[in-house]
């Protein structure tokens, strides 16, 4: 096992990784930008290294500085968290070339899944069902028109290098297609430096359901069930549940089996998430994330498995101790992303937290780097905390979420707490009856 791990991230996820390390007796090195010198992740780590000025490109994405921080402190492994360098295959390679362990999959698998065209092709060959669409990239209007006719409108043009819900354009009818293709390409080029795009059938009322996996270097792959992340705004998750209100045990077992067999064939290592759209009882692969996800705690709540601990263990070469039959799903869990932004317009609201009180009690977890007097800097994403609630069943979970949200106090900045206080009282949400468009439609009705 490692003695010292460097955490190449900030905010709540750096704290989360620090906690797992502490419980494993591993000492920790935090990195930070000058804007984060006072941050909780720096205070709680054993050592810290300033890696640059506020802009992420010069600090949290500054590969030479991060490698140097490892060498100076003698850290043997790097946990990248999510975002920043977590899905950067070149970074994982450089880490490996320096004799440091990257806590995550191999650079080859990161690269494969980072190219969404190649990823889709690869998982299809491994027996995972995909969304009907182009077999590879789409370059010309005539090719796009031919494929769209085949799969039927509406269609979605997606960036091969896409992420964070960006670089997608819908064409409702043939006359929209040429413009959708051109805009998708130029947006993809601007956002990701790569204008490769592909095409999928645009599903009308799907849910977003993803399967969490864990794999060791001894050929064992386990699935930890699914999460339902259908409540989204601009293709970004807002609220996540485990399990999905739309799946039964047989469907869970079936998709879990399909995924674990596929990743076994691939020889995957570490934690990963296979994302699907789910419509009319069928699963359609959309992408694989080769890292820890923001919403991993809901899975931890219902399985009792510390996913970060397992990531560190398998990266060090230890085998997974559990077998699939040992993984039991208990109760229901929901996570709300508490962002520093207006609850209904989503305008960012950085600033100083003047008052802070975290909710507690049975089944309540609050992962956050906030404290009274902490100044949320304007340079990074707006996630300020995650409220995770676990109950014996979905009803208990929803009632607990209601009271936990009412206990949570964050003063001085705007947050998304009022949004969740409303959502947790909406009949469709109480019924578990929603799809990927529900939230946007609800927000549009509210502002009308
Ligand atoms: P990203 O990598 O940007 O997160 P994804 O491929 O994971 O992109 O898709 C993000 C979200 O976009 C999905 O959760 C879903 O809401 C929507 N989406 C993606 N593909 C489709 C599709 N074929 N039909 C309908 N919605 C889609």
Instruction: Tell how far the Cα of 113 is from the centroid of ligand 1, in angstroms.
Output: 15
- Same-domain pairing of 367 and 229: yes
What does the alpha-carbon distance between residue 248 and residue 423 come to, in Å, rounded to a whole number? 24
Ligand 1 pocket: which of 166, 235, 240 to mutate (most atoms within 8 A of CB)? 235
**Among 16, 111, 291, 394, which one carries the catalytic annotation?**
291
- Residues at CB less than 6 angstroms from ligand 1: 131, 156, 162-166, 200-203, 206, 208, 232, 235, 275, 277, 286-287, 436
CATH number at residue 180: 3.30.1490.20
For the residues 40-55, what does the mean pLDDT come to?
A: 98
Residue 168 β-bridge partners: 158
Regarding whether 214 and 187 lie in a shared domain, the answer is no
User: CA–CA separation, 103 vs 4, rounded Å?
Assistant: 12
Q: Give the residues across from 170 on adjacent strands.
A: 156
Query: Which pLDDT band holds residue 360 (cuts at 50, 70, 90)?
Result: very high
- Nearest residue by C-alpha to atom 12 in ligand 1: 235
Look over the chain and give the mean of its residue pLDDT values, rounded to a whole number.
97
Task: Give the predicted TM-score (pTM) of the model.
Answer: 0.97
- 179 and 83 together in one domain: no
Position 232 scores a pLDDT of 97
371-382: average pLDDT:
97
Asked if 203 and 279 count as a contact pair (C-beta separation under 8 A), the reply is yes
Q: Report the number of distinct structural domains present in the chain.
A: 3
Q: Which of 117, 279, 286, 290 to mutate to test the pocket of ligand 1 (most atoms within 8 A of CB)?
A: 286
pLDDT at 446: 87
122: in domain: no
Ligand 1, atom 15, lies closest to the CA of: 235
Residue 28 has pLDDT above 90, yes or no: yes
Q: Which residue has its alpha carbon closest to ligand 1 atom 17?
A: 235
> Are 371 and 260 in the same domain?
yes
Same domain, 228 and 178: no
Residues 183 and 64 in one domain: no
Report residue 245 as tokens: 């209100």
Judgement on whether residues 374 and 246 belong to the same structural domain of the protein: yes
Task: Provide mean pLDDT across the span 231-247.
Answer: 96
- Does residue 156 sit in the same domain as residue 197? yes
- Express each pLDDT in 289-335 by its tens digit: 999 999 999 999 999 999 999 999 999 999 999 999 999 999 999 99
428 falls in which pLDDT band (50, 70, 90)?
very high
Counting from 1 in the atom list of ligand 1, the atom nearest the Cα of 202 is 24
Q: Is the pLDDT of residue 231 over 90?
A: yes
Q: Ligand 1 centroid to 235 CA: how many Å?
A: 6
Mean of the pLDDT values across residues 273-279? Answer: 98
Report the CATH number at residue 254: 3.30.470.20
Domain boundary among 163, 180, 201: 201
Residue 117 lies in a domain: no
- What pLDDT score was predicted for residue 447? 84
CATH number for 51: 3.40.50.20
* 140-164 per-position pLDDT tens digit: 999 999 999 999 999 999 999 988 8
pLDDT at 133: 96
Residue % of the chain over a pLDDT of 90: 98
Confirm whether 417 is domain-assigned.
yes
Q: Is the confidence at residue 448, as pLDDT, over 90? A: no
Residue 332 and residue 190 in one domain: no
pLDDT band at 444 (very low <50, low <70, confident <90, very high): very high
343 and 418 housed in the same domain: yes
DSSP 247-312: --HHHHHHHHHHHHHHHHHHT--EEEEEEEEEETTEEEEEEEE-S--TTHHHHHHHH---HHHHHH
Residue 383 belongs to domain spanning: 207-447
> Is 79 a member of any domain?
yes
How confident is the model at residue 101, as a pLDDT?
98
Is 261 part of the annotated catalytic residue set? no
The answer on 260 and 192 residing in a single domain is: no
Residues 309 and 181 in one domain: no
- For the CA of 436, the nearest atom of ligand 1: 16
From the list 239, 217, 216, 218, the residue with the least C-alpha distance to 227 is 239
| Distance in Å, CA 165 to ligand 1 centroid | 7
């Amino acid at each position: 096992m490692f003695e010292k791990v460097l955490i190449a991230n900030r905010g709540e996820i750096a704290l989360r990784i620090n906690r797992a390390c502490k419980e494993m007796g591993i000492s920790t090195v935090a990195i930070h930008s000058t804007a984060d010198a006072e941050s909780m992740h720096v205070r709680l780590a054993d050592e810290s290294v300033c890696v640059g000025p506020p802009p992420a490109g010069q600090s949290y994405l500054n590969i030479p500085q991060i490698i140097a921080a490892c060498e100076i402190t003698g850290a043997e492994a790097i946990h990248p968290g999510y975002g920043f360098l977590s899905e950067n295959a070149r970074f994982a390679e450089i880490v490996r070339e320096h004799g440091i362990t990257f806590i995550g999959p191999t650079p080859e698998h990161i690269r494969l899944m980072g190219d969404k065209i190649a990823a889709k092709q690869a998982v299809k060959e491994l027996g995972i069902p995909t969304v009907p669409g182009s077999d590879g990239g789409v370059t010309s209007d005539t090719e796009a028109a031919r494929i769209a006719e085949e799969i039927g409108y509406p269609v979605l043009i997606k960036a091969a290098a896409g992420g964070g819900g960006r670089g997608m354009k819908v064409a409702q009818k043939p006359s929209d297609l040429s413009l959708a293709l051109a805009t998708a390409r130029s947006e993809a080029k601007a956002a990701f430096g790569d204008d490769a795009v592909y095409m999928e059938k645009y599903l009308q009322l799907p849910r977003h359901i993803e399967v969490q996996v864990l794999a060791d270097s001894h050929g064992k792959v386990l699935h930890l069930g699914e999460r339902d992340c259908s409540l989204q705004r601009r293709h970004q998750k807002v609220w996540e549940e485990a399990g999905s209100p739309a799946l039964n045990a047989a469907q869970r077992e079936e998709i879990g089996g399909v995924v674990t067999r596929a990743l076994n064939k691939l020889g995957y290592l570490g934690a990963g998430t296979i994302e699907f759209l789910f419509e009319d009882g069928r699963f359609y692969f959309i992408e694989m994330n080769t890292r820890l996800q923001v919403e991993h705690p809901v899975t931890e709540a219902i399985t009792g498995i510390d996913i970060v601990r397992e990531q560190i263990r398998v990266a060090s070469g230890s085998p997974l101790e559990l077998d699939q039959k040992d993984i039991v799903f208990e109760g229901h869990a929901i996570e709300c992303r508490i962002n520093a932004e207006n609850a209904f317009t989503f305008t960012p609201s950085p600033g100083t937290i003047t008052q802070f009180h975290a909710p507690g009690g049975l089944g309540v977890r609050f992962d956050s780097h906030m404290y009274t007097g902490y100044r949320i800097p304007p340079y990074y994403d707006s996630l300020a905390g995650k409220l995770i609630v676990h109950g014996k069943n979905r009803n208990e979970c929803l009632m607990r979420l209601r009271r936990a949200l009412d206990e949570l106090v964050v003063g001085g900045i705007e947050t998304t707490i009022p949004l969740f206080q409303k959502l947790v009282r909406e009949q469709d949400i109480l019924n578990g009856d929603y799809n990927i468009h529900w939230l946007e439609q609800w927000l549009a009705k509210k502002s009308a």
